[in-house]
Chains A and B, each alone.
Chain A
Amino acid sequence: DIQMTQSPSSVSASVGDRVTITCRASQGITTWLSWYQQRPGKAPKLLIYEASNLQSGVPSRFSGSGSGTDFTLTISSLQPEDFATYYCQQADSSPFTFGPGTRVDMK
């Protein structure tokens, strides 16, 4: 199985801050990586697919980059509704494993 790690596990930030989350795969997955946002008590929501493609309806302050084993999710200017937990998921090979998550909370 491909193992996914994320860093940091949590980050405290303020509205307007730039936030960067990193995801690493245990082996190369080209660009087969998705990012999800999950608010408390809610289902996850797809933000980014294939490493850098913005899902329809997702604000442009979210962006993704990377290939191979190292990937980044960036929120350019944090908004109040962005305080949530973010997960990466590899879509390269089954089982399609998730990272452990990064919680973004208010400083």
Chain B
Amino acid sequence: QVQLQESGPGLLRPSQTLSLTCTVSGGSISRGSYFWSWVRQPAGKGLEWIGRVFISGDTNYNPSLKSRLTMSVDTSKNQFSLQLTSVTAADTAVYYCARESVAVAGLDLWGQGTLVTVSS
């Protein structure tokens, strides 16, 4: 079955750029009608929707992050990615990649999450 796995650095310094990749296994990222999404969760807090990218490259970003955010899809590697520039301690969180089916209109498949800590 299809699975998602996040990868990226666990520790960043303030002002650096966060780059995360989500690898899709067990199926093609190009098959079907899906949005590929990112959600984050600071420790002990709720979920924050970051944004999503469609296979065409179309994106929707959270306005609170839009000026620092870039999402893309690499079909040759069956991956999608997130870049967040100028990180601060407020960006410390568990970052999840997830799949949203156009048919279901919900995030029906999630990665296990990866902890990103921003600290000097």
Contacts and interface: CB of A to CB of B under 8 A. Distances in A.
A5 to B, nearest CB: 12
Interface in A39-80: 42-46, 48-50, 53, 55
Given A89-B49, A98-B49, A43 B105 contact: no
A91 B106 contact: yes
B49 A34 contact: no
Interface string B41-72: 00000111101000000001111100000000
Interface of B: 39, 46-49, 51, 60-64, 96, 98, 104-108, 110-113
A43 to B, nearest CB: 4
Contacts of A50: 104-106
Nearest to B60: A94
- A contact patch SS: loop
B107 A44 contact: yes
A95 B105 contact: no
A98 B106 contact: no
A32 B105 CA distance: 8
A50 B100 CA distance: 13
Nearest to B105: A91
B106 A87 contact: no
Contacts of A34: 105-107
Given A43-B112, A43-B113, A95-B62, A36 B107 contact: yes
A43 B112 CA distance: 6
The 8 closest A-B pairs by CB, nearest first: A49-B106, A34-B106, A43-B110, A95-B62, A94-B60, A98-B47, A91-B105, A96-B49
Of A34, A46, A87, A91, most buried by chain B (CB within 10 Å of CB) is A46
Contacts of A36: 47, 107
